């Protein structure tokens, strides 16, 4: 099924324009622009029109000036598809031939108005409102992974080996010839590799569907686009076909006298103006689309030239046929043929529509990463002379949040000679607006201020400097309260989760009745410790990379927690650690003393249990310090600094000695315990009660004694849990702060700032 039928076979009258007009007068007609916004999705299995859906709703909010705490999602996917139609599956291939290219809704006007009526999602057809287009290409990648994709482990090994070989090759190059971006890519990829592979191994045990979705669909899309070049060619070709279709339908609907005067309807010149809004991997594909459209057609006509070019022409972008085979039964060139491309107007591949492209907006873009990691696919960017040198450059706006691990600044892309031939940089901003790491990659679609800025700078063509001065954008780059939340998520939530989950597995194993439970708990503890260790280290590394690239003044000044809270937080950790040790020195011997006097002391049970709790906490801290992350220097017991491994071992030994001396009733120590014994009152009460009761009441006394022991046991269990959590928490946060210190130093060295 499809929406509005396209008039593909309508023929325009030649020279049949109003007699009152001459060609000279028609060339002086006023120019009217119809705005087209083309959205492009990134990784994942998006359905047609699913990406343009939030864009329509945000544009409507901007035109309505509805800056509300909660976004209004007025338009549904069905309402968009009612206009654009649904693609058909023909021999397993998605076909958009019979579908309209765009959807249009009332009260999202192309030109801003002082007052706009309520937006209710009603369709519009007159071109006074912005027209929205969805470029869907998920199906191109979805069927290829099973045939040409690799398992994450094998692929990442290949990728890293290739980059290492390039690094060795470039080692002796002069400094000004080296790719400075690549110096931080490899260290980060090492962190990513060990995190992803371990995560995949864990997820594959019980949640294979989730594992397949993450590593085959999402990461698989990245792998396919970077490694399997026909994917790029097919996606770019579909995009070009879509743009040609929009151009044709625009002319047939709006420009009755186009063949006489370009884009003329007799009363005005009605030109389309295209704004691309791309996200994630879609920004890379859109970049390839725009670049390839501006290439000279001689890459197809000059065989000698083509043989000397790297990466050009794109494989499978067009097929080479004999002239006879390249024609359809109607005598027209087949759309997939080179002959069809050469028959289009202009000297460049996208000659039909490229002059009408006005804006290119990238959200969470990994373009720079692709240019570095898959440099061999982008050597064609060095042939600047083959690209059209635009008179009116495409305005480029790049936005990315700090917590988005995919996006980045595009300073590397901007150094390419071809960039200045096609684009003019308007904004390249990495801001602090979304607090949750990772989730920030999809938060662009709900950001009213971001879309207000995009609408004003692109559709309304307002100068960036003028827009930036508006009150609504005063904290655009550093949204109030966000940075503190970022610090909490980066240095609080992950360590807290690590503490709770690791402690849960320790307690599970401790209380398990059989070997099965103990084994599962041990596996869970090891897996959790290694996974969270990698996540914490990776997140800290990434933040330090961003800071080293001076993405904003706050980051350049150093992490907030490092400069303002680090010493106090370390001191707090030490207070907790030594407070627990001191409390243990009083609590454990006193408790043991009471049990010994009551005749209830069980050496194997009590000493083993308490020793396990204290030992696990201290060994855990030792484990994090010694094996998971090695600080450059040992720390000494000092206010504001963490304790070193020797101190931890000494404290463990001290507690063990005290417990032994207590068991063997070392008199001087017992005298000390009597003074500070928290169980002294309970012990006296029990002894007095035992002396007063007659023999006949012995059974009642035993019941009373059992009740007292149960109450004491609950306190004993609570202390165990509290001690374990506290020791684990201090160990994890001390580890986190050590990671921060070391990452800061190592990143500075990698980036050449030390």
Higher per-residue confidence, 119 vs 581 = 119
Q: Is residue 694 exposed (0-12), middle (13-18) or buried (19+ Cβ within 10 Å)?
A: exposed
Query: According to the per-residue pLDDT averaged within each range, which of 306-310, 423-427, 734-738 is highest?
Result: 423-427
| CA nearest neighbour of 624 among 744, 503, 738, 496 | 738
The pLDDT tens digits for 203-247 are: 555 555 555 555 556 678 888 999 999 999 999 999 999 999 999
d(CA 123, CA 401): 34
Local structure of 634: helix, strand or coil: coil
What pLDDT sits at residue 413? 93
What pLDDT sits at residue 163? 78
The pLDDT tens digits for 366-407 are: 999 899 889 889 999 988 999 999 999 999 999 999 888 888
d(CA 57, CA 173): 51
Per-residue pLDDT band for 696 (boundaries 50, 70, 90) equals: very low
The pLDDT tens digits for 119-155 are: 989 999 888 999 999 999 998 988 787 788 887 777 7
- Could you say which DSSP state residue 99 is in? S
Q: What counts of helices (H) and strands (E) characterise the chain?
A: 29, 9
Higher per-residue confidence, 545 vs 705 = 545
What pLDDT sits at residue 363? 97
Per-residue pLDDT band for 320 (boundaries 50, 70, 90) equals: confident
* pTM of the shown model: 0.76
What pLDDT sits at residue 13? 45
The pLDDT tens digits for 592-634 are: 665 665 565 555 455 555 555 555 555 555 544 444 334 333 3
Least confident of 27-31, 292-296, 465-469, 678-682: 678-682
What pLDDT sits at residue 534? 74
Tokens of 627: 């094996």
The pLDDT tens digits for 95-107 are: 787 888 899 999 9
Higher per-residue confidence, 742 vs 332 = 332
The pLDDT tens digits for 505-549 are: 776 766 666 667 667 777 777 777 777 777 777 777 777 776 666
Q: Residue 22: pLDDT above 60?
A: no
d(CA 659, CA 664): 9
Least confident of 17-21, 33-37, 166-170, 729-733: 17-21
What pLDDT sits at residue 6? 37
Per-residue pLDDT band for 419 (boundaries 50, 70, 90) equals: very high
| CA nearest neighbour of 492 among 547, 548, 555, 572 | 572
Sheet holding 103-109, edge to edge: 103-109, 129-135, 31-40, 269-279, 357-363, 394-401, 423-431
What pLDDT sits at residue 102? 94
The pLDDT tens digits for 549-563 are: 654 444 444 444 444
What pLDDT sits at residue 100? 87
Per-residue pLDDT band for 362 (boundaries 50, 70, 90) equals: very high
């Amino acid at each position: 099924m499809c929406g509005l039928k396209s008039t593909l076979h309508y023929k325009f009258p030649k020279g049949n324009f109003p007699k009152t007009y001459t060609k000279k007068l028609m060339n002086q007609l006023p120019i009217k622009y119809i705005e087209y916004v083309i959205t492009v999705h990134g990784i994942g299995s998006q359905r047609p029109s699913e990406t343009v859906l939030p864009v329509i709703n945000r544009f409507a909010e901007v035109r309505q000036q509805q800056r509300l705490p909660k976004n209004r999602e007025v338009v549904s996917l069905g309402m968009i598809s009612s206009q654009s139609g649904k693609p058909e599956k023909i021999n397993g291939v998605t076909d958009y031939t019979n579908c309209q290219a765009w959807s249009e809704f009332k009260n999202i006007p192309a030109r801003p108005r002082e007052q706009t009526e309520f937006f209710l999602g009603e369709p519009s057809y007159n071109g006074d409102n912005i027209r929205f287009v969805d470029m869907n290409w998920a199906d191109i990648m979805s069927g290829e992974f099973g045939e040409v994709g690799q398992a994450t482990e094998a692929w990442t090994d290949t990728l890293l080996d290739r980059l290492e070989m390039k690094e060795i090759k470039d080692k002796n190059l002069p400094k000004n010839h080296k790719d400075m971006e690549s110096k931080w890519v490899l260290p980060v990829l090492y962190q990513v590799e060990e995190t992803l592979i371990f995560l995949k191994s864990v997820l594959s045990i019980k949640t294979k569907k989730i594992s397949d979705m993450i590593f085959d669909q999402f990461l698989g899309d990245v792998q396919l686009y970077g490694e399997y070049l026909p994917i790029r060619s097919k996606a770019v070709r579909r995009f070009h076909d879509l743009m040609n279709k929009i151009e044709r339908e625009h002319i047939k609907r709006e420009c009755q006298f186009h063949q006489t005067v370009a884009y003329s309807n007799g009363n005005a010149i009605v030109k389309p103006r295209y704004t691309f809004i791309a996200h994630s991997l879609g920004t890379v594909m859109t970049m390839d689309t725009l670049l390839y459209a501006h290439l000279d057609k001689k890459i197809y006509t000059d065989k000698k030239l083509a043989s000397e070019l790297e990466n050009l022409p794109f494989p499978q972008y067009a097929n080479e046929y004999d002239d006879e085979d390249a024609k359809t039964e109607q005598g027209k060139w087949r759309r997939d043929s080179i002959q069809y491309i050469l028959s289009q107007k202009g000297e460049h591949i996208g000659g039909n529509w490229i002059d009408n492209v006005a804006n290119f907006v990238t959200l969470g873009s990994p373009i720079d990463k692709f240019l570095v990691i898959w440099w061999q696919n982008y050597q064609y960017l060095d042939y600047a002379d083959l690209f059209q040198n635009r008179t009116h450059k495409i305005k480029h706006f790049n936005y990315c949040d700090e917590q988005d691990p995919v996006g980045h600044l595009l300073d590397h892309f901007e150094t390419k000679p071809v960039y200045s031939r096609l684009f003019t940089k308007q904004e390249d901003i990495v801001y602090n607006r979304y607090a949750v790491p990772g989730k920030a990659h999809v938060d662009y679609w709900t950001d009213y201020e971001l879309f207000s800025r995009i609408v004003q700078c692109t559709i309304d063509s307002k100068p960036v400097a003028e827009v930036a001065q508006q009150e609504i954008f005063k904290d655009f780059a550093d949204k109030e309260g966000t940075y503190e939340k970022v610090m909490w998520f980066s240095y609080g939530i992950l360590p807290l989760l690590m503490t709770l989950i690791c402690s849960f597995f320790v307690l599970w194993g401790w209380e398990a009745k059989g070997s099965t439970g103990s084994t599962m708990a041990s596996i869970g503890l090891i897996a959790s410790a290694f996974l969270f260790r990698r996540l914490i280290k990776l997140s800290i590394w990434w933040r330090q990379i961003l800071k080293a690239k001076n993405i904003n003044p706050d980051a350049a000044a150093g992490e907030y927690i490092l400069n303002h809270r680090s010493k106090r937080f370390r001191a707090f950790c030490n207070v907790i650690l030594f407070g627990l040790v001191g409390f243990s020195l009083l609590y454990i011997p006193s408790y043991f003393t009471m049990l010994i006097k009551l005749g209830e002391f069980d050496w194997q049970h009590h000493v083993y249990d308490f020793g396990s709790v204290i030992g696990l906490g201290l060994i855990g801290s030792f484990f994090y310090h010694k094996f998971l992350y090695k600080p450059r220097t040992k720390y000494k017991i000092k206010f504001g600094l963490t304790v070193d491994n020797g101190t931890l071992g000494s404290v463990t030994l001290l507690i063990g000695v005290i417990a032994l001396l207590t068991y063997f009733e070392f008199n001087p120590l017992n005298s000390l315990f009597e003074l500070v014994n928290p169980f002294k009152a309970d012990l006296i009460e029990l002894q007095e009660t035992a002396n007063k009761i007659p023999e006949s009441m012995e059974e009642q006394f035993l019941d009373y004694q059992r009740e007292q022991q149960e109450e004491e046991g609950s306190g004993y269990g609570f202390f165990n849990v509290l001690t374990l959590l506290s020791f684990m928490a201090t160990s994890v946060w001390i580890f986190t702060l050590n990671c921060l210190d070391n990452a800061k130093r190592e990143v500075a060295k990698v980036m050449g700032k030390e």
